[in-house]
Amino acid sequence: MIVQKFGGTSVEDGAAIERLAGIVQRAVGEGPVVVVSAMGKTTDRLVAALSRATAGDEGGALEQLAAVSRDTLAAVDEIFGAAAPAVAAELAPLFAGLGRMAAAVAVLSSVPADARDHFLAQGELVSSLVVARALAARGVPAVRVDARDVLVTDAHFGRAQPDVRATEAAARERLAGPVSRRQVPVIGGFVGATAGGQTTVLGRGGSDYSAAIFGACLGASRVEIWTDVDGMMTADPRIVPEARVLDRLSAEEASELAYFGARVLHPLTLAPAIEKGIPVRVLNARRPERPGTEILSGAPGGGEDVRSIACKRGIVTVEVSTSRMLMAPGFLRALFDVFARFDTAVDMISTSEVSVSVTLDDSSRVAEIRRELEQMARVDVVPGRAIVCLVGENLKFTSGIAARIFRAVEDVNVLMISQGASRRNVSFVVAEEDVERAVRHLHREFFGEAAAPGAVSTARAGRV
């Protein structure tokens, strides 16, 4: 059994779904389970619709929903021709439900967390239906599986966590069952449900994570992540056009990259795969003949010291200073308790005798956090920052790396530095407006022509 996950661009229109069908068809002998994201911009539009509706703008919300159904139905027309009305009729209740929910949210000017998840989940419920019918129309014995019947999660709406044991039992029945009957299950990523049946979502970009969870639950021999680039690269090709594809990465390297902003993989994707030793391959759905990147647990990295450079924008730093800290055991515990109480994860930490700085990528509760922290210390909250992170399994073996890094970015103001305990990454904080320049300078330093003679430059494929 293998899991094949197709991201938003890989199901964005009729042509993309045709390519998907070709890829799945070639894998039929391996027993594929197909996991799909919502089509194209759907989830962004659903998020925008909710924000219009909560502002009381029902018209604006319905415009977003109209764009979703227009693009979806255009793809359906393209794929099914004369049979399109039958598929459109299956989708009609889903679109009608979205319209009713948006109207209700506009009346209330607010949306409860569970209703929000239910709304956002519709994108994957629609795409899985379209893809299943498209595969069937091509003669692939596909069956559409509702993700809410398989992925069991807690009730942490917006960022639900899987209950692996319960999911395993459901996956055996609803995914492995059809595969053993030579059918191809097609299931939406990103979406799950609580044991009580309330719809949940895993957080943006979560379809990769769904695919890995299903892979782990099924003991799949491989998880394939089909996307719009040739694999994991030495940097985001949108920032560094000459970035190169990496043939292999260790799962630990890939996890650090994902965590620090390489959005080609959701940060939690590799944990279930590592646990079960399942290889993950990142592949380009527009160029399926390319080998992609193979990610293996514990695999040795390549020869380079730095394998890839990631960055994450929208970071807030919280700087806490107090002269009392020196004398106060338990201060750090009290400090981190505050972040925990407000359910906010801290990424980077640096300390001195009198101050602690942390970075947050989710700053939605930073006002409350600040109020609490101000009871114990002086607090500065600075938005508009970014983290740059260099990753490489071999960083731990080389001296002089830090000197090369900071020489390469000597014209950039570096605000905070940390080396992960794994010594697999070096990260630092810069102002958001400096981040692209920092990444380009570093890429030139570590992957410039002189550093990698003969390397193939690989641009993004297809439309951007």
Binding partner of residue 262 among ligand ASP, ligand ADP, Mg ion, none, CB cut-off 5 to 8 Å per kind: ligand ADP
Cα–Cα distance between 408 and 275 in angstroms, integer? 37
What are the DSSP calls for 137-148, one per residue? HTT--EEEE-GG
Residue 178 binds ligand ASP (CB under 6 A) = no
User: Rounded to whole angstroms, how far apart are CA atoms 310 and 262?
Assistant: 5
Helix (H) or strand (E) holding 333: helix 331-341
**Cα distance between residue 20 and residue 38, in whole Å:** 14
Token pair, residue 208, equals 């990769």
- Closer residue to ligand ADP in complex, CB, 42/194: 42
CA distance 36 to 226: 10
Which range, of 76-84, 194-202, 228-236, 350-358, touches ligand ADP by CB under 6 A? 228-236
- Per DSSP, 450 falls in state T
CA–CA gap between residue 111 and residue 94 (Å, rounded): 18
Q: Which amino acid is at 338?
A: V
Burial of 407 (0-12, 13-18, 19+ CB in 10 A): exposed
Q: Enumerate binding residues for Mg ion (CB under 5 A).
A: 7, 205
Query: Hey, is 200 helix, strand or coil?
Result: strand
123 binds, among Mg ion, ligand ADP, ligand ASP, none (CB under 5 to 8 A by kind): ligand ASP
Instruction: Using the rule CB under 6 A, give the single segment among 8-16, 77-85, 104-112, 395-403 that binds ligand ADP.
Output: 8-16
Tokens 């569970």 correspond to what residue?
Answer: 114
Report, in Å, the least distance between residue 151 CB and ligand ADP: 17
Q: Which does 308 bind (CB under 5 to 8 A by kind): Mg ion, ligand ADP, ligand ASP, none?
A: ligand ADP
What does the per-residue mask of binding to ligand ASP show for 116-145, with x meaning CB under 6 A?
Answer: -------x----------------------
- Contacts of ligand ADP in 298-337 (CB under 6 A): 308
- Indicate which of Mg ion, ligand ADP, ligand ASP, none lies near residue 458 (CB less than 5 to 8 Å, by partner kind): none
* Residue placing its CB nearer to Mg ion in the complex, 228 or 252: 228
- Interaction of residue 31 with ligand ASP, rule CB under 6 A: no
Please say whether the beta carbons of 265 and 310 come within 8 A.
no
Compare residues 234 and 269 and give the one whose CB is closer to Mg ion: 269
DSSP SS3 for 60: helix
- Least Å distance between CB 382 and ligand ASP? 27
Nearest to 419 by CA among 336, 319, 350: 350
**Residue least distant from ligand ADP (Cβ):** 7
Instruction: Extract the tokens encoding 241.
Output: 């056009």
Binding mask 241-270 for ligand ADP (x = CB under 6 A): ----------------x----xxx------
Q: If binding is defined by CB under 6 A, does position 361 make contact with ligand ADP?
A: no
Q: Strand pairing of 308-321 and 378-391?
A: antiparallel
Instruction: Tell me the residue type at 407.
Output: R
Residues in touch with ligand ADP (CB under 6 A) = 7-10, 37, 205, 227-229, 232-233, 235-238, 257, 262-264, 308
Residues in touch with ligand ASP (CB under 6 A) = 7-8, 37-38, 43, 123, 189-190, 204-207
